């Protein structure tokens, strides 16, 4: 489940006031989240949650819900 803090970090980085983000939401369906901004969004999430991702971990994420689960996994270590 997408947390408000996670959603807020994404929206802030993409300079969006509001956008509905669900577990099954694909990154490319969120306005502004393109290949150029992808790394910025990932870095913003890492900073917000004080976590670090390996490239392969991010590549395995098929949707935003998978990225949220990855954050949760890192926080629960």
Domains and CATH numbers, the chain: 4-75 (1.10.1200.10)
Mean pLDDT, range 8-31, rounded to an integer: 98
Give me 39's structure tokens.
């790394």
Q: Model confidence over 24-36: pLDDT tens digits? A: 999 999 999 999 9
38 Cβ contact list (under 8 Å, min separation 6)? 27
Q: How confident is the model at residue 77 (pLDDT cuts 50, 70, 90)?
A: confident
User: How many residues are present in the chain?
Assistant: 77
pTM for the complete prediction?
Answer: 0.94
CB 62 within 8 A of CB 68: no
């Amino acid at each position: 489940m997408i947390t408000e803090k996670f959603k807020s970090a994404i929206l802030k980085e993409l300079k969006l006031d509001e956008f509905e983000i669900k577990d099954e939401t694909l990154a490319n369906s969120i306005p502004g989240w393109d290949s150029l901004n992808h790394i910025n969004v990932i870095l913003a999430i890492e900073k917000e949650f004080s976590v670090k991702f390996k490239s392969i971990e991010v590549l395995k994420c098929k949707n935003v819900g998978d990225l949220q689960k990855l954050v949760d996994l890192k926080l629960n270590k």
